[in-house]
A and B are shown apart, each in its own frame.
Chain A
């Protein structure tokens, strides 16, 4: 081979992303394969049982049951091993999973060859079940490894047929009469081998082509997603910078208006006081909005959120204290309770308190005078469930899916309260996501809403950064 041909070949190889095993999702695929194998083991066992007890086919069933049991035992070992390496989170995890994928399929091929041998050899139509393994290999492994598995399967099939043909292996005939046995029919054997081999290689060619195209598409989508995330990060940095500058100017405006309003620069006429107060109040509202925008942008940008163990009871109490005065003004009955067993939790205390306070403040804001707001923190097994319910105006059904979106405010909320940032619930959602928790709402317009925040008990561990 000349050097240019060599270089052509090598360049073709580097352009072919399908010739590498898919690293993403391989772990999940291995679990899927293990689940599938349980069904296969059960299938072999039940089929053998039916052939033995119902159809009464004269075969040696002990080896068939033994193979099923062996496959089951190997599957269990694979499962235990996979769980261990996953829990250990070793840096060479992708290499291990790839090796495991490459080891499992040959084991299945050997098992299937043995099963076919003990149940009719080349006469057994179930020999074409090898196709399933080829499809699995094409999904899990690289193109080259898939063809290697197909070659192994063909080799095993030919070896079995050859050994049975020469009489070195006993043939277990399943034909209804001895004349129907085809182990010594050379023409039949050659035809079966050709059909078997071509089926397997065609199956691998088709399956690897399809899965290769899907992998390429997935890689393109993943790349596009990364680009979007990077663009979002740049945008957030920009927003953070601009918003911070806006806040500085707002703080200066307020600082200048304040002494005037307080009469420190001399007596003002009522008209002047009114206008300055209006300006002051508008800057106050804008400052509140800017602060919320700064906060959500920072949380989105930050990968670090310091966590620790803290008292959920004290946090809830503090959040209630924060909104108590507002509830009193509107004559709203504010109740709260923390269940036993969830007094302490791990997380970012400041943000969790803010989320609870945010839920409560929202409920109080949109509940008419004389209504009720209740905070309940309960044990939900692996997580703590924080629930805030109210007897307020509720959220229109068609708006529920958007309620946690940034800057979103429901129609009735806007009509009732002109001002509002539309960021409070988005911040709560970010906090929940950073804690690997979940946030959702149930609501009926005119009757009230219930906001939920589910917080995992064990994640993240103490003193870890999110």
Chain B
């Protein structure tokens, strides 16, 4: 059972993830945008942050990830990045994930999300922690 923060502005995706994660008895908190997410993360001690790339802007998720890494309380919190921009941008997330300077996240998942993949990824990140 872990404390998970979801930062995503799509209420339908958020609701789906909430149901999936709560089915495994995780506690889920939702933030609807980057600013709210950073504020919520604060010193709350989350075990995992699930972060969407594209929120207010195309790259808001990247900015939020970097801000989290720069903060004292969240520099070690695992971040799972959600993306739907792989085809439209051609970004090779497989290669870029983990790059401290520009993509300081621990893993990524492509939308549409599959429940099993999401749970597998979440469990593996929580174990690493």
Contact = CB atoms under 8 A, between A and B. Distances in A.
A298 B89 contact: yes
17 contacts: A240-B88, A250-B112, A251-B13, A252-B13, A254-B112, A255-B13, A255-B111, A256-B12, A258-B20, A258-B114, A259-B16, A259-B115, A265-B19, A291-B87, A295-B87, A298-B89, A302-B90
Contacts of B20: 258-259, 262, 264
B77 to A, nearest CB: 24
Contacts of B12: 252-253, 255-256
A255 B112 contact: yes
B90 to A, nearest CB: 6
Given A258-B114, A294-B88, A350-B92, 19 more contacts: A247-B84, A248-B10, A248-B111, A251-B13, A252-B12, A254-B112, A254-B113, A255-B12, A255-B13, A255-B17, A258-B16, A258-B20, A262-B20, A264-B115, A291-B87, A295-B87, A298-B87, A298-B89, A298-B90
Interface string A278-295: 000001000100010011
B47 to A, nearest CB: 21
A255 B113 contact: yes
Instruction: Pick from B13, B84, B112 the residue with the most CB of A within 10 Å.
Output: B112
A244 interface: yes
Instruction: Pick from B17, B87, B113 the residue with the most CB of A within 10 Å.
Output: B87
A139 to B, nearest CB: 44
Contacts of A291: 87
Given A256-B16, A259-B16, A264-B19, A244 B112 contact: no
Interface string A256-282: 101100101100000000000000000
B85 interface: yes
Number of contact residues on B: which range applies?
20 to 34
Contacts of A262: 20, 115
Give 6 nearest A-B pairs by CB, closest first.
A294-B87, A254-B112, A255-B16, A251-B111, A252-B12, A251-B112
Interface in A221-261: 240, 243-244, 247-248, 250-256, 258-259
B15 interface: yes
Interface of A: 240, 243-244, 247-248, 250-256, 258-259, 262, 264-265, 283, 287, 291, 294-295, 298-299, 302, 305, 350
A295 B17 CA distance: 27
B88 A244 contact: yes
Nearest to A295: B87
Contacts of A256: 12, 15-16
Contacts of B92: 350
A262 B10 CA distance: 21
B23 interface: yes
A294 B85 CA distance: 9
A247 B111 CA distance: 9
Contact of A258 (B88, B89, B90, B113): B113
A295 B19 CA distance: 31
Given A248-B84, A252-B10, A255-B13, A287 B112 contact: yes
A288 to B, nearest CB: 11
A305 B20 CA distance: 38
A254 B13 CA distance: 9
Given A244-B88, A256-B16, A294-B87, A264 B10 contact: no
Contact of B115 (A251, A258, A305): A258
Contacts of B111: 247-248, 251, 255
A439 to B, nearest CB: 20
A427 to B, nearest CB: 11
A264 B23 contact: yes
Contacts of A298: 87-90
Interface string B12-46: 11011101100100000000000000000000000
Contacts of B17: 255
Contacts of B10: 248, 252
Contacts of B114: 258
B89 A259 contact: no
Nearest to A296: B87
B19 A259 contact: yes
